[in-house]
């Protein structure tokens, strides 16, 4: 992985869209850009997580057990739960196409959350939506 270059206009991503110019500069310094081929298993359900991913291009499938529960594409992100609570990954994510992603390591992710209340609020809102969606599927 290397420092973000071509895709580092993170202000266009939903998660970072309300950040100040100073916050965006800090975030850009912490991002690493990675491109991976189709078929790559990015995260494995049940395994510990140390990386947070923001999708720049391409698509990935989200699986819980053997069931596909969603698809991720540009602007989506995943991996935040394991970084917050240091628990196991709640799902597996596999590239359907070649993907370019911005990756943030656990310690850097914590730095971002401490420095930007806007991002913390957005993550909480996103996790709340995901929990509601999961509950809706579980109790349907």
What are the b/e assignments for 101-110, b being 16+ CB within 10 Å?
bbbbbbebbe
pLDDT tens string for the chain (140 positions)? 334 444 557 777 777 777 888 888 888 888 999 999 999 999 999 999 999 999 999 999 999 998 999 999 998 889 888 878 888 998 999 999 999 999 999 889 888 888 888 888 887 887 787 778 777 877 87
Rounded to two decimals, the pTM is: 0.78
99 closest CA partner among 5, 36, 6: 36
Token pair for residue 75? 């602007």
Contacts of 129 (CB under 8 A, 6+ apart): none
Task: Report CA torsion sign: 25, 27, 30, 34.
Answer: negative
Q: Specify the fold of 2-131.
A: Jelly Rolls (2.60.120)
Domain ranges of the chain: 2-131
């Amino acid at each position: 992985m290397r420092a973000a270059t071509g895709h580092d206009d993170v202000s266009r991503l939903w998660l970072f869209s309300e950040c100040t110019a100073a916050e965006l500069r800090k975030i850009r310094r912490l991002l690493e850009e990675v491109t991976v081929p189709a078929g790559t298993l990015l995260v494995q359900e049940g395994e510990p997580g140390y990386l947070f991913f923001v999708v720049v291009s391409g698509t990935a499938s989200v699986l819980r057990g053997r069931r596909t529960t969603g698809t991720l594409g540009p602007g989506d992100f995943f991996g935040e739960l394991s970084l917050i609570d240091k628990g196991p990954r709640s799902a597996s994510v596999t590239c359907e196409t070649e993907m370019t992603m911005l990756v943030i390591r656990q310690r850097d992710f914590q730095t971002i959350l401490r420095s930007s209340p806007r991002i913390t609020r957005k993550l909480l809102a996103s996790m709340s939506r995901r929990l509601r969606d999961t509950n809706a599927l579980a109790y349907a």
